[in-house]
Structure formats: structure tokens, C-alpha cells
Structure 1
Amino acid sequence: MLEKKILKLKGNQNVSYIDEGNVSSPVVLLVHGFPESSLIWKEIVPKIVSLGYRAIAPDLPGFGHSDQFNIPSTWENYRQFVSNFLEKLKVDHVHLFCHDWGAIISLFWAGEHPEKILSLFVTDTIFAPDAEWHELAKFFRTPQIGEMTVEKLFSTRESFERLMKSGFPTITDELLDEFYSTFLTPEGRNIPLELYRSGDFKKIEKGKLLQIQKPATIVWGENDIACPLNFAHQIRDNEIPQATIHTIPNVGHFVPYEAAEEVNKVVELHFVKVQSKVKGGVSEWKM
């Protein structure tokens, strides 16, 4: 059973996070997406710890058990949160695991802080300056329509459950309750509007991640509708050509939980690559 800790950031903001493994071990930072929490990594964290790493997975502000920002919930502020969170924990270098919006946020952050990245593990996201938003995102981004969409989808747990089960049929009540906690207040229901309306793919500098010449893995759900499989190839070709792509069959968008057993096999392969580079040096590391 994973227990969450509480960290206080500036402004007395409580941040809830999972922190498992030896404190002296290399850190794996796991960043969740929308509308999720750190529990999306629930089945992945024990595997990471078993391989000799320290797994840290925050609830992003406003999600899970973390306090909401007292400033707008924009992707810029979430990127700054990553820096503030790691600084508070005195963590200088991370193996970055990221999913969905957590990847949009943290991959941009990684491009700004390449010296902090030890490896990359990317799942089901969008990351390109010419990317297209999926239909629900377009609704959120449109004035008035976005507000009506939020009211329709998030006003009750029942409506939220219908939404989630349409793309994540195996979601548990535990996850549903935790994920829905974001939307219990009007302020929380405003988060998707602020987040999606602040997102601007044109600000992504194509090829920015090429400077991170570290082991990389991309894992994707074959049936992901929100982020189709071609996005995985786009990220590899444009940003991390050293990455291996692993497609999980018969799975949709929420891969870290839906296909935890398969993902954990890839996690193990990922850290074999990491150790190969550490032992053999850059020139001897092979994908």
C-alpha cells in the first residue's frame, strides 16, 4: 500500500506525493496527466523501487491531495512547480517518467533543464509545435463552450465516471474517487479551462530535446484515441531518436495503469539500457 507524504512549498501550499525507495538511490520522477493523480503510477512505483531506484510521484497542484495553486493553473506555472518541487526535495537529477499532460509539462521543462535529465520514459502524450488538439481539448479551449463542457462532464461523480469509463473501462472506484476530487469545487472545475487555454504547442521548439542524449523509451497504447500512435513516432523522430517505441496492444490512453504488467516489463528494459550506458560509456551504449 503506497502512502503519500506532504511537502509545503512557498505560500504554505501543501503538495501530496508518493516517495518510495532508498533516499540515496537515483530518483525517478513520475509526472501524471489530466484528469489524474500520482495513483496512475500505483503499479509502476513498486517495480521501479525493486530495480534499486527511488520513485517520487507528486500530485500536481489541484489534483489528488495537493492544494490548488493560488495563481492560475497554467502549463507555465506547472513547469515552475516541477522546479520548485525538486528544489525543495534537494533532488538535482532525475529519470523522468511522464504521461499525457504531465509529459507536455515536464518534457518542456526537461528541454529547459537538460542537465537534470538522466533518462526519459514517455507515454501517450502530444509534444510538437504543429500538433493538433483532440476534440475535448478544443472544447475546453473555446470560451463559453468550455464552461458548458466542464459543467456537463464534471458537475457530478456520475457524469465523470461515464466520461472516464468510456476510455478507461477498467478504472477502479479508488482511482475514480481520487481523480474526481479535483472537480469538487468551482475553483477545481476551472483547472481544465486554465490548463488547456494556456497550452500553446507553437511555443514548443522543435528538436529541443535532441540535446538530451540519454537513454529513452516511449510506451504507447495501441488504441489511444486522444493521442494516436503516430504521435509516438513523431516524438521519437523529432525529439528523442535514440528512443525505442513499445506499443501495448488492445489498450487505450491510460497505459501506466491499464497495462501495468506490460509496462513494467518495459520499465525493466529501460533500466537495462540505463545501466548499460553507465557501465559501458556513451560510445558503447546501444539501443
Structure 2
Amino acid sequence: MTNEFSCLSSPISTTAQTDLTSKKIFDRGFERGGLYYFGEPPPSHPTTSGLQAVVLPASSSYVYRLEGRKSVVIVFNYFLPLIMQVEGTKSPEEMLTILQRVLEESALILVATRLDSAKRRTNMRLREEQDAAYRATLEADQAKGRQRKEEQEWLAREAAEAERKQKEEEEAHERAACEATEKKAALARMREEKTFSLGAEPEKGPDVTQVLVRFPTGEHKGRRFQSTATIQSLYDYVDSLGCLEVESYSLVSNFPSVVHGPEKLYLSLKEVGLHPQASHFVEFNS
């Protein structure tokens, strides 16, 4: 069959009527002139017949049933089946006229049904579009959520790293401050110890040597020592003043220019020719 209906000119043949969906055979009948009938083939001459048509909901199955000498014919118009009950034998031309009249009489219902079907399809398409838009919006929101989460995690890592670095800097500063304090305290103790080791400054006398020390800043410091005091005493004196920020230096006499280094620390001032007076300047060691 076509979308509407079709009639084929063919001899009478026996056939089985079957539901195409369930494959169930309802009854046996025959085909004549492209139409299907139930029961035994009727006489060749036309008989009195009656016509009754009804519109049913759309169906994908061909359903036939037998009601005495009445036959049921299903004609599909697009997706809407029209079921007619025909009594007696009809020629193909008469059946075409009947079918056409049924279609015309059912035109309003068919149009309304088609419009309703189109409306349902439109609503379905709208729902599908709305569902697709909702899914797209949901995916976009989820992507934004993931991006916000990643940004928050990155900010949290950055904040933790900054806090860690700040803590390390604070600890390093505290250690440096403690070391500076300890170093300062150690220098203060060292100056006190060396000042104590020098003893009291002697009065002027024949066995007393006057020593003058010039620092790189241009500052001069002087003190009297016993002529038997060692070169180490001169270094202890310079250390006790706290005028230098370096630990490695040498004392150099002016005239003549002699470096009094580690090899002379335990020689006396008199032994190295610095009695009765001497002048030295401080020279930093490289």
C-alpha cells in the first residue's frame, strides 16, 4: 500500500490476515481487485452492501476481523488509519469512489489530526532544543565551576607558597639577628677579656714605650706599654678598642716600614726596636 491507498486489479486469491506487529493470524480471507475480504469468495454478481467508516488513532499494524459477511478494510492516510466496514462485493471503481468519499468526509479530522501531530512534533522538537540548551548551559556552568575551583586551588597554593617564603624569611631574619646579637656579645666579651689582659696603663718611665696607632678612618689612638710587653699586646689593645669591623689585619710601623705579623707576636717591643716610642697604622689583610 501507499501513504493513502492502492487498489490492484488481480484475480481472487485466498490470503491470511495477520497483525504485522504481533504476527498473529486473525482470520483467513481473499483478495479481489486489490481489496481484502474475509470468509469464502462471494458470487461474481454484486449484492446489496452497506458502508460504515470510523477514524481510529494512528497505528502501525494491519488489523482485520471477520463479522459475518461484513469485511473490514484499513486504509492508511499518511499516519492516520481509516477503517471501513463494507458489506457485499464492490468493483474496484466503486471501492475507489467509496474510499475517496471517506477521505473527503474525514478531511477535517485528518487535518486536525495532522495539525495536532505537527504540534506534537514541534513541541517535541522544542523540548529537545530546550534539553540541548539546558545541557549546554549545565556543561558551561560545570566548566566554569571547574575553572573557578582550579583558580581557587591555584590561589591557595600561591598563598601557601607566599606564606612559606615569608616564614622562611622571618626565620632567616631572626637567625641573622640572633647571630648578630651573639657576635656583638662575643666581641664585647673579647674586648673586656683583652682589656683585662692588658692591665693598667703604666706611668711614664725609662722602661715604658709610647705607642700610637692610626686607623683607616684617620682616627688615632695611643697608649703606654712596658718595653717588655709583646707585639701581641699591641693587637690586644687594638681589639679592645672595638674600632675595626674586620678580624684580619696587620700592624705596620712607619719608620722604618715593618709589618709586625704573626711571626713576631711573642717578641717584646724592645726586641723589635719599638722602644721608647713607636707609630703604627692598621692595614687590612686581603
Sort the TM-score into its range (normalised by shorter chain): under 0.3
Q: Max radius of gyration: which structure?
A: 2
Structure with more contact order per residue of length (Cα contacts < 8 Å, sep ≥ 6): 1
Q: Normalising by structure 1, what TM-score?
A: 0.21
Higher helix proportion: 1
